[in-house]
Structure formats: structure tokens, C-alpha cells
Amino acid sequence: MSLKGRNFLTLKDFTKEEIYEFLELAKELKEKKKQGIFDRMYQGKNIALIFEKTSTRTRCSFEIAAHDMGIGTTYLDSKLSQMGKKESIADTARVLGRMYDGIEYRGFGQDVVEELAKYAGVPVWNGLTNEYHPTQMLADMLTIREHLGDLEGKKLVYMGDARYNMGNSLMIACAKMGMHFVAAAPKKYFPEDELVKECRRFAMESGATITFEEDPFRAVAGADIIYTDVWVSMGEPDEVWEERIRELTPYKVTMDIMNSANENAIFLHCLPAFHDLKTEIGKEMGERFSLTEMEVTDEVFQKYSDVVFDEAENRMHTIKAVIAATLG
Ligand code: CP
Ligand code: NVA
């Protein structure tokens, strides 16, 4: 099945071969951009970028990727568009589908991006929902390939709240690509059973494994990739900070954790990261709970910063591949 005209809502909808197609295209587009070669193959097309949550990487990636390919963009945020307040998702999709050749959506429920896709008649790309963050997965997989080679057989350990977009998406990506996924957290932070079952079906085909481990040091033994994300995600209430800090601190990525993984293990983080107190929230939590960092120590973050910022750069090359492959 061709990728043309397809929506990009979750990696569950794609085969391993199709995911490799996106990754190969991203690699090619990255090399071309480094050489200053741009195929303005989509000159005259336009895409809409809907952001109901804040963003640095995803928004910039879509805008630069589009610009590099000759595509026009319109940024719509929840405060300044009619979507939701005065106009239904379905009607918004039908309007935008008449004007634009593709639509990116970042926001809350996966049901919203699915509703947009149902009515738009043009490809819809998920730029992050509460449940999934599929464009981030392509950047992560590209970065792993660049630093460690083959994806198959690699062990990725996700430390922290594995029930949310990042934990869910990494479990799906690993299951599809034949990797060994481990979520390290207290039990209540493990992904939902239904999704685990679905991923175990993908794993049967690919040779992947999916396991859950409450002991952080047991989890990271033999790991090739240690991954973490913020403990409280966008859209979650401030009241959960205290509980998250208390329950997830044992899963903070420290040098001891990194030293317990494989010798050439890498550290990845989707970013933004609370590795110091140089942010408003970091400072506030630092003062309230006497912390100097949260999900990762500054020492680990700085040691692996080349990999982490490769990962951030790769958001753009992989998002460009998604647009290029799916745009009609
Ligand atoms: N990783 C990521 O999605 O970053 P932004 O929130 O800055 O887009
Ligand atoms: N889990 C985070 C990911 C940010 C890229 C969030 O949803 O805020």
C-alpha cells in the first residue's frame, strides 16, 4: 500500500516496511539538505498547522520542512481559530480540507485528530495527542539508527510515566521494529492493557518483546537506549506534580542508571527536559520540593547532549519525510 494520501495518526497504522520507508526518505532528505539540495516538489501546495498545545520543535519542524519543499503554511492556535468553540471538529475539517493539501494537529484527545482525518479528505498528521506522538517516534528511530545501527534487537528502556503519549508510542514503535521495550515505573504508570495486548500482537510478528519492571536498575541491565520524558505532560493539572515527583524520583536518569546499562548505551529525551532550574516550572518545582533537576540529572543530559540534539534536529527531517511521502 502506497503512503500517498495516507493519514499519520499513530504508528499502529503502519507496517515495519512502511516505517522504514519514512526513515529512508528522512535520511535522504537530511543528506540533501546538508548539501544544500532542495526539491521544491510541492510548490503551490499549502498545509494547515493546528496547535491546541504549545510547541517549539514540532511547529518549527513542520514550518521549515514545508518551506524547504515550497509548501505554504498557516498556523492556527486554539485561541484565535473558531475550532471547538464555535465550529465542530468535523466542520473545521471540511473547511480546511477544501483549502489545504494537508493538516497537522497537536492537541488533546486522539479522537479529535481521528475526527479531523475522517472529514478532511486530505492527509492529517498527528503532531502529539495525549495518547500518541508518532512523528517523535520517527525522529527517535532515525537517531538510534545513526548512533547504534540496526534497530532490530536493541533494548530500549523508558523510565517514567509510561501510560501517556511517549510511553505508549515508544512501546508501539519498538513492537513494530523488533526491539525490546521495557517500561520502568511503579505499576500504576504502566500502559493500558488493551494497548499492551495490541503491541504484543505486533511483537509476535517482529520478534520484539514488551516487559514491565518496577526495579529501575534491573530494568536497565543490558539496555542500549535509556529514554525519559517530563513527569507531568502538557494539559495535566498542576496538582499532580507532588505525587509524580514522589513516585517517579526513583526512576530519574542518573549516571548510576546510565552506568548500569550497556557500555555504549545512549540517552534520549523528546524534550523539553527539566535537567536544571533554568525554566519557570523547573525553578518553581525546585523551590517547592528542594530539587535541582527532575527526570534526568544535568550531568547525564550534558554528557549525552549531542545525541539528544541530533534527535531534536531529526524531528525536522522526519516530519519532512512524512509530509513528502503522504501529500497527494
Ligand atoms: N518533542 C516535542 O514534541 O517538542 P515540542 O513540544 O517543542 O514540539
Ligand atoms: N509527554 C510530553 C511530551 C512532550 C513532547 C507532553 O505531552 O507534554
* 229 belongs to the catalytic site: yes
* 200 belongs to the catalytic site: no
* 244 belongs to the catalytic site: no
226 shares a domain with 99: no
Q: Which atom of ligand 1 is nearest to the CA of 61?
A: 8
267 shares a domain with 224: yes
Give per-residue pLDDT as tens, 267-318: 999 999 999 999 999 999 999 999 999 999 999 999 999 999 999 999 999 9
112 shares a domain with 159: no
44 shares a domain with 124: yes
Whether residue 152 contacts residue 183, with contact meaning beta carbons closer than 8 Å, is answered with no
Mean pLDDT of the chain, nearest integer: 97
Ligand 2 environment, Cβ below 6 A: 128, 164-166, 229-230, 233-234, 270
298-303: long-range contacts at Cβ-Cβ below 8 A with a sequence spacing of 24 or more?
299/254, 299/255, 300/253, 300/254, 300/255, 300/257, 300/258, 300/267, 300/275, 301/267, 301/269, 301/273, 301/275, 301/276, 302/275, 303/255, 303/258, 303/267
Please report, as a single letter, which amino acid is at residue 80. L
87 shares a domain with 143: no
Strand order in the sheet with 266-269: 209-213, 180-184, 155-159, 225-228, 266-269
* Confidence band for 39, pLDDT divided at 50, 70 and 90: confident
Residue 243 within any structural domain of the chain: yes
Residue 302 within any structural domain of the chain: yes
Q: What is the 3-state secondary structure (H, E, C) of 269-314?
A: ECCCCCCCCCCHHHHHHHHHHCCCCCCECHHHHHHCHHHHHHHHHH
Is the entire prediction scored with pTM above 0.95? yes
195 shares a domain with 263: yes
Half-sphere exposure of 7 (CA within 13 A, CB side): 21
What is the arithmetic mean of pLDDT over 93-109?
A: 98
Residue 5 within any structural domain of the chain: no
* Confidence band for 80, pLDDT divided at 50, 70 and 90: confident
Residue 82 within any structural domain of the chain: yes
151 shares a domain with 119: no
- Which CATH number do you get for residue 181? 3.40.50.1370
144 shares a domain with 55: no
165 shares a domain with 119: no
Residue 23 in this model has a pLDDT that exceeds 90: yes
For residues 160 and 232, what is the distance between their CA atoms, to the nearest angstrom? 10
Residue 251 in this model has a pLDDT that exceeds 90: yes
Residue 26 within any structural domain of the chain: yes
* 133 belongs to the catalytic site: yes
144 shares a domain with 120: no
Domain extent, residue 205, equals 138-313
Residue 273 within any structural domain of the chain: yes
Query: What is the count of structural domains for the chain?
Result: 2
Q: Which atom of ligand 2 is nearest to the CA of 234?
A: 8
| pLDDT for res 244 | 98
Residue 4 within any structural domain of the chain: no
Closest ligand, as measured to the CA of 271? 1
158 shares a domain with 114: no
Residue 111 within any structural domain of the chain: yes
For residues 196 and 254, what is the distance between their CA atoms, to the nearest angstrom? 28
195 shares a domain with 283: yes
Closest ligand, as measured to the CA of 136? 1
